[in-house]
Structure 1
Amino acid sequence: MNPEITTYIGYSASVFIVLSFILKDVRKIRIVNMIGCICFVIYGIFNGLLWPVIIPNGLICLIQIYYLIFGGKK
């Protein structure tokens, strides 16, 4: 992939993560954060398999999906 596009994906990921800290609705926070994590996973893959970026963001994405589907309230 074009290195310039990869850089923009990384910046987009950062914007989504920061934006998730600004929101108040938990569902929106999870969705926006998940988009940021997906962007970071893509960034890590196209930047030479950066496992320290891919693994935690992939796990966070799975956690967000879990809570979006099953909720966190008992």
Structure 2
Amino acid sequence: MDMSFTDWVGYLGSFVLMVSFLMKNITTLRIINSAGCFLFVIYGFMLGFSWPVIITNAFILGVNIFYLTRKKIEKTAP
């Protein structure tokens, strides 16, 4: 089986996303899920601008960043 580097990025993104859903802690889930989404955004560009892959994962990445940032701000608020 001859896989390209692009295929490896896609499989790695899939693996990281699957692992993220095994996390019990929501913060850990969002961090690992963000890494998987980031890999999928890169994968979408490597496929020659696969916009459905790029847009969906960029949106999920943005949501994760929003909630992680909000949680951090809430923790530091007096």
TM above 0.5: yes
Gap regions ≥5 residues in structure 2: none
After TM superposition, which residue ranges in structure 1, 4 or more long, deviate above 3 angstroms? Answer: none
Output the CA distance in 2 between the equivalents of 1:64 and 1:5.
Answer: 27
Gap regions ≥5 residues in structure 1: none
Instruction: State the Cα RMSD in Å.
Output: 1.3
Residue in structure 1 matched with residue 61 of structure 2 by the alignment: 61
Output the CA distance in 2 between the equivalents of 1:44 and 1:52.
Answer: 8
Output the CA distance in 1 between the equivalents of 2:10 and 2:57.
Answer: 12
Residue in structure 1 matched with residue 16 of structure 2 by the alignment: 16
Give the aligned length: 70
- The 5-angstrom pairing of residues 1-74 of structure 1 reads 4-71=4-71
Q: CA deviation digits over 1:3-44, x for unaligned, max 9?
A: 711111100100011001111011100000000000000000
Q: What secondary structure sits across from 1:22 in the alignment?
A: coil
Output the CA distance in 1 between the equivalents of 2:55 and 2:33.
Answer: 15
| TM-score calculated relative to the size of structure 1 | 0.89
Which letter does structure 1 place at the counterpart of 2:70? F
Output the CA distance in 2 between the equivalents of 1:25 and 1:19.
Answer: 12
Output the CA distance in 1 between the equivalents of 2:31 and 2:12.
Answer: 14
| TM-score calculated relative to the size of structure 2 | 0.85
